[in-house]
Chains A and B, each alone.
Chain A
């Protein structure tokens, strides 16, 4: 469909959003990503029954952890869609980017040491 969405989004493939660990989400923020989001199947439609429900729980957990340390929880989000919904995927990508632009850069960035 070649629907345009912001370039700042890079995708990491996992077999199921149930594989996405709290560690992966925290590490992204720790290493300086301004935001990270998980895109899973529609709720009730998980190929592995409940992976996307667990992912949502983890995302919510990470959001509260970030709030606890004084960062914006909304840097981490979960979206659900079906594989036939290209335009929705692009819309969520834009929505997330706008959300992050409103939040501004990740304050942890200045602490990240690069090789």
Chain B
């Protein structure tokens, strides 16, 4: 339940019992290993078993087990075996209350369950799996450990078919009329990975209605699969699957492109199931009074894509609409931005700074090392002779104290470590336990609490790298544990205290580009109290959206834009510079300086800012094809929408539209994403103005993804004719006095048809703005189509590789206005993480040059993947800026005189481990 108003919500949460206390559970997994009860493993889609005491998957957060009481027999074995005493058989459902200012709903979606569709035989024929199941089969952590096998006989399949649109684009067998947006791409991916995993020549066929690989760089992947890796794409929707009972193979009957009926046998069939909102989430929405649309996704509007019907409550991910990971991560950023924007006034008010004692100076002291060996319950102690390792550690050089603990990570052990640090005057600490990935930070904090520099710490992983994998050889594991401890102690002795430099942050943003993306990003930051300088190369704001009238949903773009420009223009925190261009750039995250020339000014202005948001936008491609520019009756979709809005069609009896003009061809292999919906939008508009007008849309694949599919359905219902052509045989357009003549081969009739339209509208693609100068001045990477490249497609979709630089809108790639708005908020959200504080701490793990011995050969300058080392001519030295260094250590390896050292990974700190390991022979 959520009661109250934005800024002051009272949230009631129900905690379902887990029967294992997540705070006490160490994730060791002994309960699951001893549990005698098996249950269906849902995460592997029933392809294997799990225990009643279980964890969903190895990467789960928190890494804590739970008991499935539906199958648990209550034998008590796990309670007896659990050394951490985390089992709670009497755990009960309980409620708790939270007071929050904003709420974000992101319960996600789930795959469509095809068991109700008997003609596919899922659940009946073992070798028919869902795409979710197949994903698990391919996974190294899945039921077959990543080996490509089919469920019936664990044989490697020779031929696999994927059937697209199972539970999507289907109002006949299920109520999901929408397109799930992700299935085409994941089917291609699964086929490619399956081919990689296969030992023989695996035949992969994807049966589809349209291939919808519309995302950034997705078309290139599709082409690679088709042309290079030989994945077959068949335009057909399969009606029935039959099993050959003797072999378990599956027979598909389908009509091929020429209309011939074919029968093909496959060893395995994958159903590409769509995404839908589970009933539990629909109930959640009802309880919270959030409106859903007819497809059960959260009802949102094009200009407020992550706002729910209830103010102060936002949404993101598949609950908002079907989408892929980059889209979900971006939307998550947008929701976080708006949730935080509402609460900007109270930012940081509940934060209590951690009190850290002043650091002790240990630089003159000889190393005094304390070693703490962990039993990790029985995870280590059950295999390794921990006492022996402890005694061994005591005898190592510089070790003044060694101890063992049941769980070194527990809170009381931290107190014990602190006592021992003080009691023995320890100045280096080694913990021999598990992975630094999970626990290093916590132990470092323990050191800091005693006034020790946190970099005087080293871990030996005697669990994951030892006891867990050598459990059958206790003596061998004990010996290896001693080796690992000896190596860690050697390194600890050479560790040096490191300083994390604190730099100031200029709490101002520079936004480049004054379109919908740039203005939304600027406004989001300004509303949180940050100053923004918005620069635009044109005399006015608006960008490409200035050429749009309505969205396909019917929302008024002109009115929205006018309001947005008004709001941005009058905001006291936003300074707008039009007719501005960037002429110079320098600095690093938190402290950039950009030179801008405005209009015909001769003087340059210098702007100091902490972050950059790149939103330079895109434009409509100007066609060279199909007589555009030669015949007035040939226009683009944007020009058609101008005509439709301004004066109507003026009695045209027929209109032809041609898709993929300037997209998906040799010159521009990418899909422009938005043109299919533009064509459908304009076609529906024509039908509204003049229902008698005949409309033909000539297409290659209709890519009305997500909820846009409903408009495609509506268009077909209204009699708009869709004719598919292939890239090899495009339509022929001729001009004559009587009209334009369009000739196209109809794929159903298998013959040429001729149309004489009054108007020919070309769905011209989206091209990036000319950003040659900007990208070379600011060193921003672009792909071959001229769109800027994000730091990571999935994990950091709005960050650019350089810290403090973010990206949004069509500068990133073609997208809808609603997607642009989400991305702009997401970029603002990421920028806020830099601007929120007036100072930021830099990592101490970075490269330092010993300028005394450096011969200035510039090898490091040439080798750094981030162009950080620079030659300072005045001082005559090589400088590596701590704020820019990523800490990879490439320069340290190439330096011929070894005058560069990487903090925490100095050469002798690595070499000593090699020496220590080999000192006792192998």
Q: Decide if B889 touches A31 in the complex (CB within 8 Å).
A: no
Interface string of B578-592 (1 = CB under 8 A from A): 000000000000000
Stretch at the interface among B225-233, B276-284, B477-485, B560-568: B477-485
Q: Is B469 a contact of A3 with CB atoms below 8 Å?
A: yes
CB-CB contacts below 8 Å: A1-55 with B:
1-5, 7-8, 10-16, 18-24, 27-28, 31-34, 47-51, 54
Are B865 and A50 within 8 A (Cβ)? Answer: yes
Q: Are A54 and B890 touching (Cβ within 8 A)?
A: yes
Known contacts A4-B469, A16-B888, A18-B890; is-contact A31 B913 (Cβ 8 Å):
no
Question: Do A58 and B893 touch (CB < 8 A)?
Answer: yes
Interface size of B as a range: 35 or more
Determine if B477 and A7 form an interchain contact, defined as CB atoms under 8 angstroms apart: yes
Q: How far does the Cβ of B888 sit from chain A's closest Cβ, in whole Å?
A: 4
Please state if B476 and A86 are interface contacts (CB–CB under 8 Å). Answer: no
Q: Which of A72-100 contact B (CB under 8 A)?
A: 84-88, 90
Instruction: Specify which chain A residues have a CB less than 8 angstroms from the CB of B480 in the assembled complex.
Output: 7, 10
A115 beta carbon closer than 8 Å to chain B: yes
Residue of B845, B893, B898 near A54 (CB, 8 A) is B893
Q: Is B166 an interface residue (CB 8 A)?
A: no
A7 touches B845 (CB 8 A): no
Whether A15 pairs with B918 at a CB distance below 8 angstroms is: no
Q: How far is the CB of B359 from chain A (nearest CB, A)?
A: 24
Residues of B within 8 Å of A84, CB to CB, are 139-141
* Set B436, B487, B845, B894: member contacting A10, Cβ < 8 A: B487
Tell me which of A1, A15, A23 contacts B889 (CB under 8 A): A15
Q: What residue in chain B is nearest A20 (Cβ atoms)? A: B893
Q: Is the CB of A28 within 8 A of B914?
A: yes
A-B pair count, CB < 8 Å, reads 124
Given known contacts A14-B905, A49-B865, A87-B146, A22 and B918 CB-to-CB distance under 8 angstroms: no
Contact A51 B888 (CB under 8 A): yes
Query: Is the CB of A69 closer than 8 A to any CB of chain B?
Result: no
B447-505 contacts to A, CB under 8 A, are 461, 465, 468-473, 476-477, 480, 483-484, 487
Would A14 and B889 count as touching, CB distance under 8 A?
A: yes
Choose from A7, A19, A32, A49 the contact partner of B918 (Cβ within 8 Å).
Answer: A32
Which of chain B's residues has its CB closest to A33's CB? B918
B887-922, CB under 8 A of A: which get 1 and which 0?
111101110001000100101001101110111111
Closest chain B residue, CB of each to CB of A89? B140
A13 and chain B: residue at smallest CB distance: B436
Query: Interface residue tally of chain A, by bracket?
Result: 35 or more
Q: Is the C-beta of A112 less than 8 angstroms from some C-beta in chain B?
A: yes
A2 to B465, CA, bound (A): 9
B910 touches A18 (CB 8 A): no
Q: For residue B476, which residues in chain A have a CB less than 8 angstroms away from its CB?
A: 7
Q: Report if B547 contacts A (CB, 8 A).
A: no
Q: Do A18 and B893 have beta carbons less than 8 Å apart?
A: yes
Expressed in whole angstroms, the minimum distance between the Cβ of A35 and any Cβ of chain B is: 10
Q: Are A14 and B469 in contact (CB under 8 A)?
A: no
Contact B907 A23 (CB under 8 A): yes
Judge if B119 is at the interface, Cβ distance under 8 Å: no
With a CB–CB cut-off of 8 A, which chain B residues contact A1?
58, 140-141
Q: Does B392 contact A (CB under 8 A)?
A: no
> Is there an interface contact between A18 and B469, defined as CB atoms closer than 8 Å?
no
CB neighbours (8 Å) of B424 from chain A are none
Q: Across the interface, do B469 and A15 meet the contact criterion of CB distance under 8 Å?
A: no
Contact indicator B922/A22 (Cβ below 8 Å): no
Return the contact of B914 from the options A19, A31, A50 (Cβ within 8 A): A31
The answer to whether A19 and B473 have CB atoms under 8 Å apart is no
Q: Are B911 and A27 closer than 8 Å at their CB atoms?
A: yes
Q: Once the chains bind, are B902 and A15 in contact (CB under 8 Å)?
A: yes
Closest partner residue, chain B, to A114 (CB atom): B919
Q: If the complex has contacts A3-B469, A12-B914, A24-B910, are A51 and B919 also in contact, measured as CB distance less than 8 A? A: no
Distance in angstroms between the alpha carbons of A94 and B918 in the assembled complex: 20
Contact at B919–A2, with CB atoms within 8 Å? Answer: no
Q: A18 to B470: give the CA distance in the assembly, Å.
A: 30
Given the known inter-chain contacts A19-B889, A20-B893, A50-B865, please indicate yes or no for A31 contacting B915, CB distance below 8 A. Answer: yes
Interface residues of B in 848-900 (CB under 8 A from A): 863, 865-866, 886-890, 892-894, 898
B481 smallest CB distance to A (angstroms): 11
Chain B neighbourhood of A112, CB < 8 A: 918
Given A7-B477, A10-B483, A15-B887, A21–B915 Cβ distance below 8 Å?
no
With a CB–CB cut-off of 8 A, which chain B residues contact A16? 888-890
Let me know if B470 and A51 touch, CB within 8 A.
no
Q: Closest CB of chain A to B123's CB: distance in Å? A: 28
Q: Establish whether residues A5 and B469, one from each chain, have CB atoms under 8 Å apart when the complex forms.
A: yes
Is the Cβ of A10 less than 8 Å from the Cβ of B893? no
Are A7 and B473 CB-contacts (below 8 A) given A14-B905, A32-B922? Answer: yes
Question: Would you give the 0/1 interface string for B118-145, flagging 1 where the beta carbon is closer than 8 Å to chain A?
Answer: 0000000000000000000001110001
Whether B140 contacts A19 by the Cβ 8 Å rule is no
Contacts of B917 in A (CB 8 A): 10, 33
B465 touches A11 (CB 8 A): yes
> Once the chains are docked, how many angstroms separate the CA of A102 from the CA of B514?
66
Select A50's contact among B470, B890, B910, beta carbons within 8 Å.
B890
* Alpha-carbon gap, A33 to B917, bound state (A): 9
CA distance A115 to B902 in the complex (A): 29
Specify which chain B residues have a CB less than 8 angstroms from the CB of A87 in the assembled complex.
140, 145-146
Interface residues of B (CB under 8 A from A): 58, 139-141, 145-146, 436, 461, 465, 468-473, 476-477, 480, 483-484, 487, 801, 845, 863, 865-866, 886-890, 892-894, 898, 902, 905, 907, 910-911, 913-915, 917-922
A-B residue pairs, 3 tightest by C-beta: A19-B889, A48-B888, A49-B865
Q: What are 11 A-B contacts defined by CB distance under 8 Å?
A: A1-B141, A15-B889, A18-B865, A24-B911, A33-B914, A33-B918, A34-B922, A49-B801, A54-B863, A87-B140, A88-B146
